[in-house]
Structure 1
Amino acid sequence: MNKLIMKRILVAAFLCCFISCKETSKKRTNESSTEITINKQQFNLEKAIADCEAQLEISVPKLTDLTVHPRLIETGETEWKEVPNGRLMWTSGFYPGILWYMYDLTKDEKWKLEAIKRTNVMEEFKTVDEHHDIGFMMYPPFGLGYHLADIQAYKDILLTSATSAAKRFNPNVGTINSWNTKMHPRWQQHITIIDNMLNLELLFWAAKNGGEPKLKEIAIRHAETTMENHFRDDYTSWHVLEYDSINGNVLNRHTKQGLHDDSRWSRGQAWGIYGFVMVYRETGDKKFLEFAQKLTDAYLKLLPDDYIPYWDFDIDTTKDNDRDASAAAIVASGLLELSTLVSSKKDQKRYYNAAIQMLRSLHSPAYSAVGKADSFLLHSTGAKSLGHEIDVALIYADYYYLEALSRLRKMKK
């Protein structure tokens, strides 16, 4: 064969090999970009998102009755137990919120259409003032729908909802009243629970989007009063505070869902962390950021090795080992945001790494529902002290888990 021809063949072969190797290397780089490695352990973000979508592909065709919503999957069961939508049903907004996040993550119109269908049936609850949970009920469906799909009709619904929430504010106390005494007769006066911190986001949103400025003032006052009264010296939270309705004095510090009145209920701490991170985002007041960090640091010290808390930090783990994946999901989402708000590089890394450890455990076979049930997560505890929702799947665990995945993807981009 002619030497020139042979030379050209070798050059062509080399170029083909080089291009092929380069493409393979590029492919591997793209694949590895979905892997996040913390302490030599990997978390695959895109796989976690894909698993959630696959779970929705299974569950959504079964959830066709618009008068009810999925709340939990009992231990050993595989399908969602649905409960009626209603003025007292605080969990009703999380399922449409999940659908909105999946639409945002995938841009698949079918999730948007399903989210709209599920959101619109919630409009009748915009005047709820029997309890504080209207924020949980209305912000995930209508707030996400407004921001992610630009549905302008949702704005007035949110503004009305915020006004309804503000009706429960007692200026003598400085907080929004969580429950009416007839709902919880143990407490006779003004009741505020730590969960209420999450409902402040609705008020902040409304004040920025055409609502009365006093809505922001109410939210800030509630956060300040909670910061002053709701936490121990070690920055762990009580669940329920009863205030004197006239003079605002603290009458009792108790629990409803924790182990006992002075125990450290893990989801209560989670609500506090998430809530004060959000309040700092909305106000820019450093006192809320510093407080959120103190709550977070107290929480992280109490975690077991897999970063998923026991349902109460004070249980006897030789007799009770039930975890609360919902608390882990709430904190993971909150810590991802916190990691973007602190100025210290060390703290940024510390909070980010902790959040990834939580998400890695939640996505692991130990807590994932893939192949086992229709939810995203298993092993949450709603109210063990009351004898129900023990070691179950919970709709709000799935919501905050998917929110965390959504936040993480935006951070990586």
Structure 2
Amino acid sequence: MILKNILYTVALVMLSCTASLAQKVKFKPNPQLLKTISADYKDGVNQYKLMMKGLEPGKFPKSYYPKTGKFETSNSGWWCSGFYPGTLLYLYKATGDKAMLTEANRILDVLAKEQYNKTTHDLGFMMYCSFGNAEKLEPSAAYKQILINSAKSLCTRFDPKIGCIKSWDSNKPEYLVIIDNMMNLELLFWATRATGDSSFYKIAVTHANTTMRNHFRPDYSSYHVINYNPQTGEVQQKRTAQGFADESAWARGQTWGLYGYTVMYRETKDKKYLAQANHIAHFILNHPNLPKDKIPYWDFNAPNIPDALRDASAGAIMASALLELCRYTDKKDSQTYFTTAETIIRNLSKAPYLAESGTNGGFILQHCVGHFPAGTEVDVPLTYADYYFIEALGRYKNIGK
């Protein structure tokens, strides 16, 4: 117990040091963009009030197909289930509209059972984006326990021989890990702070190190899927599932990595993670196929650029990640990251990406791409696009504080 308390104290000191580093770089939000953000919040509240009306009890929003008017939902076990309550809580925090909090509390009750779900690697998305935000707003013993149980469930998928948390189960002799899994590690860091148990922290660091070693190419673009030999831990295949080709740079995958290694630096203050996040940012921002409006094509190597579909979800994730990363890095990169995030927010806050009020099934953003090769969720709104967009708005609004 003494060792756990020491580790807990060290973690807090490291976080304090990171916060001090962040305070050295000051940014002044643009007044006009702040007005735009206020309008975005109001629009978001109105859209989500519309969305509530289309939800059946026990269901979570996934997407909306404007051509058919189909509102697609899921049960609580789907990997996106945490984004709806998370967005509601962000909107409540920004506007004080109690309808957002009431609906968030209702759907959190539906989601709570997933704390014991050991069949998915996405408990960070599902539980930290939801109950993690609830715990920040209104700390409670119940929320804390749900998050601890969720972290314990996530850790059951870690194999020390591989050095990673398994992403997808398979009946074949393979151990599959996807770049998206970097986004689930934040839950584990929280669990070490909350309990003083360093095992969560160690698993997160081990996973991030293994991923950094095997997922990235020399130019710091990322593969989507790494297939490990479950017996030896050796890499037996590097490929994509949702990108254009095995050697292409699937846009959302690049932003998952950017966000994930930014979190790694925040939580550990290990400069190798800051370097990794910067390398990924440079790959994205210096890529010749990044459009001027900074909303990426669904894959940086899509064959029909400039006519390829854009992915607003990748843009939203990138903006949110850059608004944190800009607080940690050198002055030149900081300014580039900050102004890029401003550009993304401006463009997501208007047509064609911002949906017209009262449309889009209540989703805020449109023109996202989920799984192009499978032909699913193509050029539609996606629940996580809304989540990271609203998160980015909050980060921008508070960056000078």
TM-score by length of 1: 0.86
How far off is 1:108 after superposition?
A: 2.5
- Runs of 4+ with >3 A deviation: 77-80
Superposed CA deviations along residues 241-292 of structure 1, whole A, max 9, x for unmatched, are 0111222211100111011111110010010000000111111111100110
Structure 1, unmatched stretches of 5+, are 1-31, 37-41
How far off is 1:132 after superposition?
A: 0.6
> 1:122 maps to which residue?
111
> 1:216 maps to which residue?
201
> 2:52 maps to which residue?
60
Distance across 2 between alignment mates of 1:161 and 1:84: 17
The structure-2 alpha-carbon separation of the partners of 1:138 and 1:318, relative to structure 1 and needing over 3 Å to count, comes to closer
- Name the stretch that deviates more: 151-160 or 389-398: 151-160
The one-letter amino acid paired with 1:123 is A
| Counterpart check, 1:355 vs 2:341 | yes
The one-letter amino acid paired with 1:337 is E
Distance across 2 between alignment mates of 1:143 and 1:326: 21
Distance across 2 between alignment mates of 1:284 and 1:306: 32
* Contact 1:43/1:359 (<8 A) preserved: no
> 1:22 maps to which residue?
none
Instruction: For 1:386-397, list aligned pairs within 5 A.
Output: 386-397=374-385
* Contact 2:87/2:387 (<8 A) preserved: yes
Distance across 2 between alignment mates of 1:339 and 1:118: 34
The one-letter amino acid paired with 1:105 is A
- Name the stretch that deviates more: 188-197 or 43-52: 43-52
Radius of gyration: which is bigger? 1
| Counterpart check, 1:382 vs 2:370 | yes
> 1:21 maps to which residue?
none
Superposed CA deviations along residues 307-330 of structure 1, whole A, max 9, x for unmatched, are 111111111225852111111111
> 1:339 maps to which residue?
326
| 3-state SS in 1 of match to 2:346 | helix
Structure 2, unmatched stretches of 5+, are 1-28
How far off is 1:68 after superposition?
A: 0.8
> 1:102 maps to which residue?
91
The number of aligned residues is 369
- Name the stretch that deviates more: 102-111 or 165-174: 102-111
> 1:238 maps to which residue?
223
Instruction: For 1:228-377, list aligned pairs within 5 A.
Output: 228-302=213-287, 303-317=290-304, 320-342=307-329, 344-371=330-357, 372-373=359-360, 374-377=362-365
* Contact 2:41/2:95 (<8 A) preserved: no
Distance across 1 between alignment mates of 2:298 and 2:67: 19
How far off is 1:47 after superposition?
A: 1.9
| 3-state SS in 2 of match to 1:157 | helix
Percent pairwise identity: 41
Distance across 1 between alignment mates of 2:400 and 2:201: 31
- Report the aligned-residue RMSD: 1.8
Distance across 2 between alignment mates of 1:384 and 1:209: 39
Distance across 1 between alignment mates of 2:166 and 2:54: 37
Instruction: Choose the corresponding residue for 1:189, options 156, 174, 183.
Output: 174
> 1:76 maps to which residue?
67
Superposed CA deviations along residues 337-361 of structure 1, whole A, max 9, x for unmatched, are 111122x222221111011111111
Instruction: Choose the corresponding residue for 2:132, options 136, 140, 143.
Output: 143
* Contact 1:43/1:356 (<8 A) preserved: no
* Contact 2:178/2:226 (<8 A) preserved: yes
| 3-state SS in 2 of match to 1:386 | coil
The structure-2 alpha-carbon separation of the partners of 1:43 and 1:193, relative to structure 1 and needing over 3 Å to count, comes to farther
The structure-2 alpha-carbon separation of the partners of 1:58 and 1:153, relative to structure 1 and needing over 3 Å to count, comes to same
| 3-state SS in 2 of match to 1:105 | helix
| Counterpart check, 1:132 vs 2:118 | no
How far off is 1:59 after superposition?
A: 2.0
Superposed CA deviations along residues 381-406 of structure 1, whole A, max 9, x for unmatched, are 00011111110000010011011111
> 1:10 maps to which residue?
none
The structure-2 alpha-carbon separation of the partners of 1:405 and 1:77, relative to structure 1 and needing over 3 Å to count, comes to farther
Distance across 2 between alignment mates of 1:196 and 1:281: 17
Distance across 2 between alignment mates of 1:258 and 1:231: 15
| Counterpart check, 1:50 vs 2:22 | no
| 3-state SS in 2 of match to 1:80 | strand
> 2:15 maps to which residue?
none
Distance across 1 between alignment mates of 2:305 and 2:234: 39
Distance across 1 between alignment mates of 2:400 and 2:353: 24
Distance across 2 between alignment mates of 1:350 and 1:79: 40
Higher relative contact order, chain-length normalized (CA < 8 Å, sep 6+): 2
| 3-state SS in 1 of match to 2:370 | coil
